[in-house]
Amino acid sequence: MTGKDKEEGCVFCNRLICDEREHFVLYRGQHWYLLLNLYPYNSGHILLISNRHQPMLGDCTPEELAEMGILLKVMENSLTEVFRPDGINCGYNGGQSAGAGIPNHLHLHMLPRWAGDTNFMSTIGETRVMPQTLDQSYETLLPVVQRLTAGL
């Protein structure tokens, strides 16, 4: 598939069963899975993705919300251990008007941030500065995520 080809179906549903390494899947839970964002703002940009189509947090069951909280903590701890950031951004866009690129499939973003990082480059220079490839980020995050999710 070239950069101009559009993937058929929902990209997040298509990742429910896939080659995990090829698609940068870090963990699969009962209700959610973790994978690296293919278009990251910074190295280590992780997505927490629902295993089912649902557009908003209000559509989650209590069990889904409980697992989400546990996995958000795993994401934060993993990013902190691997990247030693000065801060963390976490959020989601609820609905297309809020900027959700895939508005019918709930997903949350978490990424490390540093004082003086290159966030302005995307806006002003239409360029992203990535000190690591996705493969490198995956290889450094995977063992930490595996350790932190052991027994979940």
106-115 tens-digit pLDDT? 999 999 998 8
Where does 13-147 sit in CATH, by number? 3.30.428.10
Domains of the chain, residue spans:
13-147
Give the residue numbers annotated as catalytic, written as ranges: 107
* Global model pTM greater than 0.75: yes
Q: Judging by beta carbons within 10 Å of its beta carbon (0-12, 13-18, 19+), is residue 106 exposed, middle or buried?
A: buried
95-132 tens-digit pLDDT? 888 878 888 899 999 999 988 776 554 544 455 455 78
Structure tokens given for 130: 């990535």
